[in-house]
Amino acid sequence: MAQICVALNTDSWEEARALVEKLREEADLFKVGLPLYSGKGRDEVVALLRDGVRIFLDLKLHDIPSVVATTVRDLPEVEYVTVHATGGKKMMEAAVEARPDIRVVAVTLLTSLDVSEAREIYRKFPRKLAIQLSRMASDARAWGVVVSGLEARAVRKYFKMLNVVVPGVRLRRKKDDHARTVPPERLKWLQEDDILIVGREVTEAKDPVATLRKIRDAITR
């Protein structure tokens, strides 16, 4: 069964800490994005790490290789950090080499982009683009890739050594800024080291614990 990562989609550390306390017995790790990491986020992440909380740091770094390497070297001892695969192989290699203790995860195509937007920007369909960028990530020795559940199985087929991180998981189809989503029951094939990311559907639920358990049940039945 895949690991379940709860996205702390807030810019308030008070709210984030409350969510961690409420869900840490059910979640495997927690995702901290750029809005939450900005400001005093580094100190807060260090405090969570000291408390035994596993952190997926979702900074989506995208810059020249030397800048990315310097940024990664300065990170606290998180388990995972994201970079954009479109930054290229050299940039991803720089991130991997900067901190061998941190698993570098390359973002392929944002789930906020639908098929028409992907073709407008990249001149490719999402599946073909995800495979192309995953090949670059594999060549750069990245630990894994962030990929929509719609393309994740194709990536696994061609790159069995890459782990997959799947965002945009929805129990029910909702209108939000994720354009390419899948229900959790379509992800039963994920392996132990893969990661399934859940966010507002859990954190904004009336009963976040029950909702998280429902998602876990859906990928294990």
Residues 39-75 have pLDDT tens digits of 889 999 999 999 999 999 999 999 999 999 999 999 9
| Side chain identity, residue 221 | R
pTM over cut 0.85 = yes
| Structural domain span for residue 50 | 3-220
Write down the H helix ranges in the chain.
13-23, 34-37, 41-50, 65-73, 89-98, 115-122, 126-139, 152-158, 200-203, 208-220
Which ranges of 51-177 would DSSP assign to H, the alpha helix?
Answer: 65-73, 89-98, 115-122, 126-139, 152-158
Identify residue 97 by its one-letter amino acid code: E
CA-closest candidate to residue 28, choices 201, 221, 211, 197: 197
pLDDT interval class at 176 (50, 70, 90): low
Q: Round to whole Å and give the CA distance between 62 and 92.
A: 9
Contacts of 213 (CB under 8 A, 6+ apart): 26
| CATH code where residue 78 lies | 3.20.20.70
What pLDDT score does 169 carry?
Answer: 85
Whether 85 and 61 have beta carbons less than 8 Å apart is answered as no
The token pair that represents 110 in the structure block: 């944002």
Report how far residue 173's alpha carbon sits from residue 150's, in angstroms, rounded to the nearest whole number. Answer: 14
pLDDT > 70? residue 87: yes
How does residue 104 score in pLDDT terms, banded at 50, 70 and 90?
very high
pLDDT of residue 124 exceeding 90, the answer is no
Query: Is residue 174 scored above 80 in pLDDT?
Result: no
pLDDT in tens, 131-172: 999 999 999 999 999 999 999 999 999 999 999 999 988 887
Catalytic residues: 60
Say yes or no to pLDDT of 5 above 90: yes
Quick one: pLDDT band at residue 29, thresholds 50, 70, 90?
very high
Total domain count, the chain: 1
Confidence of residue 175 (pLDDT cuts 50, 70, 90): low
Percentage of the chain surpassing pLDDT 90?
A: 77
